[in-house]
Amino acid sequence: MSKKATEQISRWFTTSFRVRYQESDQMGVVYHANYLNWFEIGRTEMIRDLGFTYRGMEDAGVLLPVVDLDIHYSSPARYDDHVTIFTRMTNFSPLRIHYEYEVRRLSDEESMSSINGDKLPGERLVTGTTRHVWVNKDWKPTRLDKCVPKLYDALRSSLLGGKE
């Protein structure tokens, strides 16, 4: 496989929690900026599911700043809702990575086992995308395949679904 951008989409990675009181306003509605934090939680947990941590990436000398963000609000999350952040990679290269997110409210009856391709369980609340560039500690673009080849291989393998 060449090192140019991988055009495949990874599987969905998930993390769930209940909306905390401090994330909502007096009406019990989640403040809009909290969704950006939730996107970051989704990215962080996806990397963790692949066997890496952000701290480990930083110790290896790579950082992953957001360079572009797009977000669409469909319905508000509310205090004490059970929400799931679905996160997947939509584009990946040695220099860049793009993510897609869906924040969904799941009922007690809905389960994660009902993920079927692009059909996700629950009520869609927010969708979004972020684009990132791999940089070194001097904030210069860097190639992940050269700096942290094990992470590069894990991300690439996730996109390929184990197929080479």
Nearest CA to 5 out of 68, 95, 69, 67 is that of 95
Which three-class secondary structure state does DSSP give residue 16? Answer: strand
Terminal alpha carbon distance of the chain: 7
Among candidate residues 25, 59, 70, 80, the one labeled active-site is 25
User: What contacts 24+ positions apart, CB below 8 Å, involve 110-118?
Assistant: 112/14, 112/16, 112/84, 115/12, 115/14
Asked if residue 85 lies in contact with residue 149, where contact means CB atoms within 8 angstroms, the answer is no
Nearest CA to 59 out of 153, 154, 159, 150 is that of 150
Reply yes or no on whether 138 is catalytic: no
- Could you list the active site residues? 25
